[in-house]
Amino acid sequence: MAELWESGAGELAELVRSGQVSCREVVEAHLRRIDEVNGRVNAVTVVLGDAALAAADRTDRALRRGEAAGPLAGVPMTVKENIDVAGSATTLGIVALRDAVAERDAPHIAELRAAGAIPIGRGNMPEFGMRWHTGNDLRGVTRNPWSAEHTAGGSSGGDAAAVAAGMAPLGMGNDGAGSLRWPARCCGVAALKPSLGRVALMGPGSRPAPFAFQLLSVHGPIARRVDDLRLAFAHMCGPGDGDPWYAPVPLRGPRPAAPLRVAVVTGAGEDEAARDAVRRAAELLTGAGYETEDRTPPAPARAGALHTQIMSAWGRVHEEQPPVETVASEEFARFWAAFEEPWTRAAGERAFDPMMERAALVSAWAAWMAETPLILAPVCGRPPFRIGADLDPEWLAGWPAALRVTVAANLLGLPAVTVPTGRSGDLPEAVQIIGPRFREDLCLDAAAAVESAIPPLTPVTPREGRPGQPTEE
């Protein structure tokens, strides 16, 4: 019989509902797993053991009274350190915020709790969530479960590594420039970046985020299987009274005409492994009844440039936030200095009004996707990099182009799912599927079709002393 920590969210919830295991047994199994492997990857920064066990005991008592189990009853989850969890610090990876304890849960965390999910730990992140590698002076570096020498990605790297290593079946992160999809790709797990307005970013009493993050960033789940993404997503889209972008849209839209067309997008300078992953996924989708064709969406390079312009101009509260070097680590300041020139170049020609130009792109993509609703593309044109590579200005020069399609989805508010496609050498490989706004269902369906033909990659156990050679469980 498999260990409980090897099971997915849906499997665990069914075991609890059927009475085969208790919530306490599920939580204890994952706490033991954290104790066993977290020291090798440093994915979980704070273990919420006592609170998680207390929540499990409350659920077990309710079940003994004959009360109905929630759809996520007993399912442990990690939560990134820039998402509010009542009684835990929302640090953003910053030393100065180590005692910034939240009074209440973020809206989607409260909704997941109401469905029975149990926060078991906090996921590590880079300072401010503004780096594609996870590490900071407060919590240290998160290492990839597949290779201690390689990044776990960022900025939701702690949650992706925790899910990949079996410390929780679900992780809660967010994505403003690939911050769910890139670490999922690095660690060999699945992730969903929902549409803009789908998951409330803030609730009553929350401090508003800078405009760029309101527009470009969304909360989403990480899991080992696509069905678990779907399950979690169904219970994190409740009312967002404090979020002006929130839209209460049905989770499943009208059934499209078959065969559904998929645009296969490559040629943005990606490496051969990334192209091979896309080709393999396209073949699997064709076999599942989709119609795939090489096609390029409107002006992806300009979409990337506008994303950079908006993030640069409105990505932080300039009047209130002190200079980066005064609050972040010396390494983060080095990264920011090294990235300044590529970041500036990536902004391209300045728009007279970037929001007006964005609206024109939204319209162009909507018309294009009416004919070809789904896009199959690499998450990034580069593989997971060795830790420290992103401090090299020459290496960073090509990074914005490698993420061009990924950040276009952020700019335009489109949903996207990352799904593993196998391995490239010792590291996992993945693709992303992007769909029209509020059609997460189409993305998830296509990702499930790809996943059905791929042997599960995770959970994995990092083997001590032999980085890059994890043991499959």
Q: What is the pLDDT of residues 178-237, one digit of tens each?
A: 999 999 999 999 999 999 999 998 755 567 788 999 999 999 999 999 999 999 999 999
How far apart (Å, rounded) are the C-alpha atoms in residues 309 and 347?
5
What is the dotted CATH code of the domain comprising 4-472? 3.90.1300.10
pLDDT of residue 461: 95
pLDDT of residue 332: 94
% pLDDT > 90, the chain: 89
pLDDT, mean of residues 17-34: 98
pLDDT, mean of residues 316-345: 82
pLDDT, mean of residues 153-176: 98
Indicate whether 467 pLDDT > 50.
no
- pLDDT tier at 325 (50, 70, 90 boundaries)? low
Indicate whether 292 pLDDT > 70.
yes
- pLDDT tier at 466 (50, 70, 90 boundaries)? very low
Q: What is the pLDDT of residues 119-133, one digit of tens each?
A: 999 999 999 999 999
Q: Across the chain, what does the average pLDDT equal?
A: 93
Q: Of these residues, 22, 147, 155, 195, which one is catalytic?
A: 155
Q: Of these residues, 179, 195, 217, 329, which one is catalytic?
A: 179
Domain range summary for the chain, segments of one domain joined by +: 4-472
Centre a 10 Å sphere on the Cβ of residue 35 and count the other Cβ atoms it contains.
Answer: 13
Q: What is the pLDDT of residues 433-461, one digit of tens each?
A: 999 999 999 999 999 999 999 999 999 99
Angle (CA) 395-407-327 rounded to 5° is 65
- The answer to whether the CB of 131 falls within 8 A of the CB of 89 is no
Structure-token pair, residue 185: 């790709």
Q: What is the pLDDT of residues 358-411, one digit of tens each?
A: 999 999 999 999 999 999 999 999 999 999 999 999 999 999 999 999 999 999
pLDDT of residue 320: 59
- The answer to whether the CB of 6 falls within 8 A of the CB of 459 is yes
Q: Does the active-site annotation cover 193?
A: no
pLDDT of residue 107: 94
pLDDT of residue 207: 72
Indicate whether 263 pLDDT > 90.
yes
pLDDT of residue 334: 95
Q: What is the pLDDT of residues 29-60, one digit of tens each?
A: 999 999 999 999 999 999 999 999 999 999 99
Of 378 and 315, the structure prediction assigns the larger pLDDT to 378
| Alpha-carbon torsion, ordered 111, 113, 117, 118, to 10 deg | 140
- pLDDT tier at 242 (50, 70, 90 boundaries)? confident
Indicate whether 1 pLDDT > 70.
no
pLDDT of residue 327: 80
Q: Of these residues, 7, 22, 80, 193, which one is catalytic?
A: 80
pLDDT of residue 206: 67
